[in-house]
Structure 1
């Protein structure tokens, strides 16, 4: 996944100081500064105070580092210097594997699982990292992604996954880790790359990436995508989307740059809620075909996403730089889905008996909604790299301000069954679903987040440094819930005293303050060796899931934020002349949910469970030889529930159980071989596999899924500016479940073959 650069930097890559001096550039740091992708320069400890006269010749520096382009301005430094595991999936990996979505990219990261989600709540990109929910922890260019949708990868430069508590870096939440996608932005070359692809399961896709250098100080880039597909081994499920992402980069003087990015994506897909459980096993274990779809052809997930981002970088001097990164986003969504369940009313009875299976039924229901979300965020940071007491020191300080609004309308069905319809399990009908009734509930939620953060790295000696940091948050959520008495809810605990046609308003609010510190001790005995021990915390306040609709309730609005902490011992080593990066870590994360006493009932109420995650990770990525690129990662997770309290009652049978959605063992391997110079020039072969052990689906540990191994591969041939590639996903046509939940699981796509023709001009 990590691509190795081999770039020569001219001696004037860094602008001269007022005194006409040049700071010494060491390793990949000059490349980082040239690209403007970190908040400012940093310098090796042994050369911190050394300068050169303006007329003194300096040799070009050969860079063979492992540094990755990153857009998280609140995380200074290089990947190998940061005291936590960061997995990077770069552009070449995305291309070789034929990745088209964020979910597809994250298959490269062991310890990340995908949640199917609740009906009527969230469905789209939902992930768990190290067994902890990360559904609110997806970022683009270091800024929070406010909406919920299926993210296409057409505008990704790369994907970064930060492991461990990261509230100090990214803000509220981010307990198990955070997911950041870096957008494609203008560069110094003028080029055009186009691709068309076709494959099995009605797969069609076309993309274009055009970069134009307009002047020496102005560049423009445009990425576009159209895509549609069905899903191998799944009936009816399909997706159709398109997107466009123009960006402009301008150098405003010698030391200032401005990058403007617009992103638009429209998606019309049929949501797949998989298959339910019978006797704690997926119904497919009782002879139900994996292809069975229990929704309707009229189900839909229509989303429209528009975001605009502006990033300003200014270099005050060689050791002072400023970054301001701001984003506004609007997300519209219409969601009509069908959920299937065996748990209500004796449904699915008889499926385990061949004599009665043909008559067995499964109950279906829906919780449709229409939603409008918008948000704005601005992160500003100042980085100062100046000696402190004669020692090298890097100090970062900044602010993070955001506002988010979500308006959701929930719809019901006015028929006598309230939209609940039984379908034959073995031969379900599709067609048109029941007609929507009037909106029975409206939820208006707003959230304001103001935070101040700092990060300081102080070099005690040339090889030992201390990192301290923290973030103070002020987080306020307000929610107005308006219930309408309609035919849908008249006979089901009707609100407003059951007066048909009336409405009633309930208001909730939460106002919290919290501080998250971090501290690390780093030892770097050599340029390619980095060892660290670190401590970091995170906080998840009530109402953090604004786009979830029901962000607050009477039982959660007064809770204190969840408090989580991570201890980590790790190493990062440069291998094969620094062409490959190895990361290894031992870690322990404690999730401690806040508990309060209800003043009305005296009951203890809690927002969740105490959870302990102890684990080990090791991974390598980069070039083993000039021709062989390797990415291999393994994660071990021992995740248990330490304490369980529900409605004031202790649940001893749950304590000590495994945490849901957390595989104990997970691994991924992908190898690419380039035959240039040793065989057929232009030929590439690649392939790999993903392993995941069994997972529990509920806290009772009564439902589980077996582990699986899948394989993918590709062959590509490039001649001049043309490249033809054939990808085969799920080579062995393995039957397994790609998305999981406590009451339903979604079968993964069967074997899929895709041919892609690309051209570069």
Structure 2
């Protein structure tokens, strides 16, 4: 029978104070070990006592793994999380009737990845897409074939800004696979991403300083310090500075500056308070990568594309977030939690795109091939307020213990989008057939040679312009959840959520201002049932639903089919007459928590069906806004396998593979039916292995594989031609990374990361026209020195 242990992040009243902890033999061993090693990274574990007749304790064994500040971690297993960071999940992850993939801080650090986009791209079942018009702050995450770029959460609350997201303040990243609306609200058709942040703790004090350097002028400095003021008060700070040129694509570069502060106060034995601040400044001169050339079926990425980014290109995010958490424990079976957050983000970009072209008929070089440049830009101001309250009630009803959670949430999200005034001069070629003067910027001449001064060719003058989309959504949500052990083998979970939202968006296009207002309600639910086939293994079944609103994406206005507002103006159909997009998912899975809970194996069969999908209208339909209401339907089914933890005492692993198929079932364009979804890879896999060769030396490798996919419009068929052949292919790829670490002494260790060891050219995503083809990083090497005070 499973034991319902208190969640490690419950109120301070349920946690023992450090002085009390010292009274236990295991904690005494921990204290002695910490003192003797001067807070060096390790974890001390005391073995159980022998029977009383022995009157002697076994030797305490010190395991040379990093001291784990993450309260959700599995002790002694750096890649395995025991609990979700969202305390609404009442059971350990191994006993949760849902596929939740967790990336721990240790696994992320070993991988060498730092931005959320590159972290998620490595995971099976997740692909990337490009934003509308190459919208750089609209990086798109696609989970099980479903759009998820607006389904990113921080500590359980939606993060509405399309910002650059860094990992320096991240304790673990949780990817919930399948509809997640009962927890997360609107959207979340294929799942959701939740970043669990580093928070202050009264458990112990420590300071870790990390400094990194490497190829491509890579520099990265981080500081993570937690200081216990007394038994009831602690503060924590995380600082970041990072800079690097994009490997093999200089002079494009990335710069990061970050600060995260957290304070914890146990005001009484029943009440504790946590206050957090998160700030990030990210400033890049981005590389938009390559482009596709040729005709199907031989269409492929162009070779030897020069670095065409202009000197004054930029991609920036400036984020400030303040959060307050309160937990009050009425008694052992009743507590209430409240989380309030106020945030703002300023995002902006002016970037250069490139594509293959031919010189026009009026050019003496007519018919010769070249590369032409284009401008893509926009800015975004995000402001949001959210308050979430959860009442946790453990009650015995009908002889069974029910763990109820009743939630109330209010959110107010506002996003103002605009444009920059960009003046370019210095056109150097003619590509239009009717042009009588230079009308384009060519990166190469007729012979293919790169022009001189390429990075200043367009001679840009940039100023901030007017807004064109004012997007606002206010939502009130009520939820109820229950987890109950029916007997010593069966556990059931049920969740129900009601969202009432008010949508208010104004768009300005070609001098015409339109305002769209409507309100509606959505009901969604989640049922899970697990059966324990042995003490360390179970099988489970889950059914979940999700809904998304018309116009749910904040940065695309009335671009119907990209998540913008769909309105049939020509027939007088009001926006309120559209139905929310609906998703249903069924999943059958099994989890095996082996080797004393050190190794978790899981498998899941699933099917997701999305209906009432908003689509772009067919050409010539007469729809003024190019919208079609609730005309689409698609399906994704597949199998996911995963392994996380210790394979042997020396070998740690995280690995997974996804085999999937997608199909458009219904569309307002008949030819779409039967086609695969855009930006969807049938197969993907990831494996990261770390071998502890000696007490001091470890080495590891990570490999990611993603099958071929095809670009196109979200939630619809990948682009294809009159012959039915897909026109925008993104080739499959396999990338290998290596890393190694060495403990110099009790306070210091060093890690080497070599990314893309074989220096493979690979591509993450393509725009539907093929004129953008995001490139993965070329081979790079990084050395990180960690020092513990």
Shorter-chain TM-score: which interval?
0.7 to 0.9
**Distance (Å, rounded) in 2 between the aligned partners of 1:196 and 1:283:** 46
2:648 aligned with 1:625: yes
Alpha-carbon displacement from aligned partner over 1:326-359 (angstroms, at most 9, x marks no partner): 21110012221222344xxx64899xxxx98995
> In the alignment, what sits opposite 2:728?
703
Look up the match of 2:759. Answer: 733
What's 2:659 paired with? 636
1:247 touches 1:262 (CA, 8 Å); kept in 2?
A: yes
Q: Secondary structure at the match of 1:653?
A: helix
In structure 2, distance between residues paired with 1:557 and 1:367 = 29
Out of 303, 307, 311, the residue aligned to residue 317 of structure 2 is: 303
2:109 equivalent among 73, 84, 95: 95
1:373 is aligned to 382
CA distance in 2, matches of 1:738, 1:720: 40
Deviation at 1:696, TM superposition (A): 1.7
Query: Which residue number in structure 2 is paired with residue 444 of structure 1?
Result: 470
- Correspondent of 2:535 among 527, 535, 542: 527
SS in 1 for 2:120: helix
Correspondence list, 1:222-241, <5 A:
222-241=237-256
CA contact (8 A) 1:195 1:208 kept: yes
Change beyond 3 A, Cα 1:451–1:433: farther
For the structure 1 residues 315 and 61, does the alpha-carbon distance in structure 2 shift closer, same or farther, using more than 3 Å as the test? farther
Relative to structure 1, the CA distance from residue 459 to residue 58 in structure 2 (aligned partners, 3 Å threshold; closer, same or farther) is farther
After superposition, the Cα gap between the structure-2 partners of 1:430 and 1:467, relative to the gap in structure 1 and judged at 3 Å, is same
How far residue 184 of structure 1 moved from its aligned partner, in angstroms, is 0.6
Per-residue CA deviations over 1:198-247 (Å, capped at 9, x if unaligned) read: 11111111000111000100000000000011111324321112000010
TM-score of the superposed pair, with normalisation by structure 1: 0.84
**Aligned-residue offset at 1:473:** 0.7
Please say if residues 37 and 70 of structure 1, whose CA atoms lie closer than 8 Å, have aligned partners that are also in contact.
Answer: no
Confirm or deny: 8 A CA contact 2:611 2:633 kept in the other structure.
Answer: yes
| Structure 2 residues without counterparts, runs of 5 or longer | 16-24, 28-45, 49-73, 428-437, 559-563, 569-573, 713-717, 721-725
**Is the Cα–Cα contact under 8 Å of residues 669 and 688 in structure 1 kept in the other structure?**
yes
Is the aligned partner of 1:76 residue 2:87? no
Conserved in 2, the CA contact under 8 Å of 1:225 and 1:244?
yes
Match of 1:278 in 2: 293
- What is the CA distance between 1:362 and its match in structure 2? 3.3
On the 8 A contact 1:111/1:662 being kept in 2, the answer is: no
Q: Is the 8 A contact 1:684 1:717 kept in 2?
A: yes
Quote the offset at 1:106 in angstroms: 1.9
Q: Of the candidates 175, 188, 199, which is equivalent to residue 174 of structure 1?
A: 188
* Alpha-carbon distance, 1:417 to partner: 11
What's 2:165 paired with?
151
Query: What is the SS of the residue equivalent to 1:168?
Result: helix
1:709-743: CA deviations, max 9, x gaps?
Answer: 11111111012110111110111111111233322
1:540 aligned residue: 548
Two-structure CA RMSD over aligned residues (Å): 3.3
Give 5+ residue unaligned stretches, structure 1: 1-24, 42-56, 484-493, 496-503, 646-650
Counterparts of residues 665-676 of structure 1 (less than 5 Å): 665-675=683-693
Match of 1:135 in 2: 149
Change (3 A) 1:597 1:448: same
Alignment partners' CA distance in 2, 1:714 and 1:664? 29
Give yes or no for the alignment of 1:456 onto 2:482: yes
Partner of 1:715: 740
Residue 338 of structure 2 is aligned to residue 324 of structure 1: yes
> CA contact under 8 A between 2:252 and 2:287: conserved in structure 1?
yes
Residue 105 of structure 1 deviates from its aligned partner by 2.2
CA 1:437–1:185 in structure 2 vs 1: closer, same or farther (change >3 Å)?
closer
1:706–1:604 distance in 2 versus 1, CA, 3 Å: closer
Any conservation in 2 of the 1:349–1:360 contact (CA below 8 Å)? Answer: no
What is the aligned partner in structure 1 of residue 524 from structure 2? 516
More deviation, 306-315/357-366: 357-366
Name the residue aligned to 1:36. 10
Taking structure 2 as the reference length, what is the TM-score of the superposition?
A: 0.81
2:705 aligns with 691
Using the TM superposition, give the Cα deviation of residue 438 of structure 1 relative to its aligned residue in structure 2, in angstroms. 7.3
User: Across the two proteins, how many residue pairs are aligned to each other?
Assistant: 685
1:280 to 1:176, Cα distance in 2 relative to 1, 3 A: farther
Shift, 1:600, TM fit = 9.6
Question: The residue matched to 1:99 in structure 2 has which SS?
Answer: coil
Counterpart of 1:17 in structure 2 is none
Give the one of 606, 610, 613 matched to 1:591: 610
CA contact (8 A) 1:67 1:80 kept: no
1:200 and 2:228 matched: no
Q: Structure 1 211/644 Cα, relative in aligned 2: closer, same or farther at 3 Å?
A: same
Distance (Å, rounded) in 2 between the aligned partners of 1:416 and 1:296: 13
> Is 1:245 aligned to 2:264, yes or no?
no
Separation (CA, whole Å) in 1 of partners of 2:467 and 2:221: 40
Structure 2 residue aligned with 1:490: none
Please say which of residues 384-393 and 111-120 is displaced more in the overlay.
Answer: 111-120
Q: Sort the Cα spacing of 1:86 and 1:367 in 2 relative to 1 into closer, same or farther, 3 A.
A: same
**Match of 2:419?**
410
User: Which ranges of 4 or more aligned residues in structure 1 deviate by more than 4 Å?
Assistant: 25-28, 37-41, 57-67, 280-287, 346-350, 355-359, 412-420, 547-551, 594-604
